[in-house]
Amino acid sequence: CAQQLRSAYHQKDLAEGRKIAEKVVESFHTCPIPEIACLGRTLRRWTDAFLAYFTTNRSSNGGTEAVNGIIELHRRLARGYRNRHNYRLCES
């Protein structure tokens, strides 16, 4: 299953990758392995977003999610400081 999903993303031809991805969506939810079946159900719920990767020339929101992760990391690190001055002292 992992290799089949990975192969969809590694196809040079986006149309071929989409065909593989569509097969994944149609087959994973019936797998007897509970984790794969759960992934299949999730992919079925998110089919439009999942297949959009292949119709938008491989674009995704990965960059946005990475920046958001960095912002959230700094927010967590800053938590507990009473004022900005103390936070700045900690960074130097």
- pLDDT, tens digit, for every residue of 49-71? 999 999 999 888 888 999 998 88
Indicate whether 14 and 56 sit together in one domain.
Answer: yes
Residue numbers of the domain that contains 18: 1-60
Indicate whether 46 and 65 sit together in one domain.
Answer: no
Can you read off the two tokens belonging to residue 77?
């690190």
Indicate whether 75 and 41 sit together in one domain.
Answer: no
Give the Cα separation of 84 and 72 in Å (integer). 17
The total of structural domains in the chain comes to 2
- DSSP letter, residue 29: G
Judged against a pLDDT cut of 70, whether residue 83 lies above it is answered with: no
Indicate whether 8 and 25 sit together in one domain.
Answer: yes
Give the Cα separation of 28 and 1 in Å (integer). 8
Indicate whether 49 and 71 sit together in one domain.
Answer: no
pTM: 0.66
Indicate whether 47 and 8 sit together in one domain.
Answer: yes
Indicate whether 25 and 55 sit together in one domain.
Answer: yes
Can you read off the two tokens belonging to residue 19?
């065909």
Give the Cα separation of 24 and 29 in Å (integer). 9
Give the Cα separation of 19 and 44 in Å (integer). 15
Indicate whether 53 and 65 sit together in one domain.
Answer: no
